[in-house]
């Protein structure tokens, strides 16, 4: 205890009293003057999230897709397993196959999603779509991967739209080609929001997806999910 007292005496000895008034200084910014913005930022912080969660807003897609992707990464999209938390659901199975429908299943693990990602990987020339993290890592460098991001978002959005059509419009599932044409049509519409210098490369990929889709049409047994 006495040791602590000596320590304090030592600390206090460093004080240089002067004639000026005591001043208080704000710690959370550089100017030392209080700003409500900086305090709000401190109180708003609720723990670390992975970096790509906030990167979703950087990519070039329509706002509703932004919002949907945000729901997907936070596992808040209304798939059947999430719906089951809110009310009774008779059938928790995926629309495409017979496994339980979760976010991870419908977008990545389902046979339809898997073969779709395989085709897209072929088109892009590198592997994409292992998981949300796998897609999200490209959001961080949107300048370089702008087109990739648009395509992967289009895939997720189209899978979701198709799933909803199957669910609510009672459209029957025909083939992979249906999904791929949706993706290319969607990307065609998003052409307007694509930066000018990236338009050519996006066009190239759209054509390539269309080409792959039409090939499936002629060979109906390739890449078709077992139902």
d(CA 183, CA 3): 73
CB of 196 to another protein, least distance (A): 26
The answer to the question of residue 40 lying near another protein (CB under 8 A) is yes
Find the helix or strand (DSSP H, E) in which 208 lies.
helix 199-218
Q: Which is nearer to another protein, 13 or 98 (CB)?
A: 13
Contact predicate 83/89, CB 8 Å? yes
Tokens standing for residue 24? 């208080």
CB of 100 to another protein, least distance (A): 19
CB of 202 to another protein, least distance (A): 26
Q: Phi and psi (nearest 5°) for 100? A: -65, 135
Which one of the spans 3-11, 147-155, 206-214, 218-226 is the region binding another protein (CB under 8 A)? 3-11
Best CA proximity match to 173, nearest among 100, 112, 128: 112
The answer to the question of residue 167 lying near another protein (CB under 8 A) is no
Q: Give the DSSP letter of residue 169.
A: I
Dihedral sign for Cα atoms in the order 149, 150, 156, 159: negative
The answer to the question of residue 30 lying near another protein (CB under 8 A) is no
The answer to the question of residue 45 lying near another protein (CB under 8 A) is yes
Count CB neighbours of 205 within 10 A.
19
CB of 85 to another protein, least distance (A): 10
CB of 89 to another protein, least distance (A): 13
- Taking CB under 8 A as the rule, which mask of x and - marks residues 70-109 in contact with another protein? xx--x-xxx-------x-----------------------
- The site that binds another protein (CB under 8 A) totals a number of residues, namely 50
- Taking CB under 8 A as the rule, which mask of x and - marks residues 187-226 in contact with another protein? ----------------------------------------
Contact predicate 163/95, CB 8 Å? yes
d(CA 184, CA 187): 5
The answer to the question of residue 1 lying near another protein (CB under 8 A) is yes
| 127 Cβ contact list (under 8 Å, min separation 6) | 121
Q: Phi and psi (nearest 5°) for 112? A: -60, -50
Contact predicate 205/191, CB 8 Å? no
The answer to the question of residue 168 lying near another protein (CB under 8 A) is no
Please report, as ranges, the residues that interact with another protein according to CB under 8 A: 1, 4-5, 7-9, 11-13, 15-28, 33-46, 49-50, 53-54, 57, 63, 70-71, 74, 76-78, 86
């Amino acid at each position: 205890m006495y040791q602590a007292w000596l320590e304090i005496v030592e600390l206090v000895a460093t004080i240089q009293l002067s004639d000026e008034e005591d001043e208080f200084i704000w710690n959370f910014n550089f100017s030392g003057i209080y700003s409500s913005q900086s305090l709000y930022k401190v109180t708003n912080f609720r723990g670390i999230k992975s970096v790509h969660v906030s990167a979703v807003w950087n990519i070039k897609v329509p706002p509703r897709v932004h919002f949907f992707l945000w729901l997907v990464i936070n596992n808040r999209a209304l798939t059947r397993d999430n719906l089951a938390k809110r009310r009774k659901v008779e059938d928790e199975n995926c629309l495409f196959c017979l496994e339980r429908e979760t976010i991870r299943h419908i977008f990545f693990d389902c046979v339809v999603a898997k073969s779709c990602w395989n085709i897209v990987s072929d088109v892009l020339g590198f592997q994409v779509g292992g998981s949300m993290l796998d897609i999200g890592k490209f959001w961080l460098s949107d300048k370089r991967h702008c087109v990739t991001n648009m395509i992967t978002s289009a895939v997720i959005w189209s899978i979701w739209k198709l799933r909803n059509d199957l669910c609510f419009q009672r459209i029957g599932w025909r083939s992979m080609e249906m999904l791929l044409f949706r993706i290319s049509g969607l990307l065609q519409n998003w052409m307007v929001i694509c930066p000018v210098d990236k338009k050519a490369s996006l066009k190239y990929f759209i054509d390539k997806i269309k080409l792959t889709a039409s090939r499936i049409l002629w060979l109906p047994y390739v890449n078709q999910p077992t139902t």
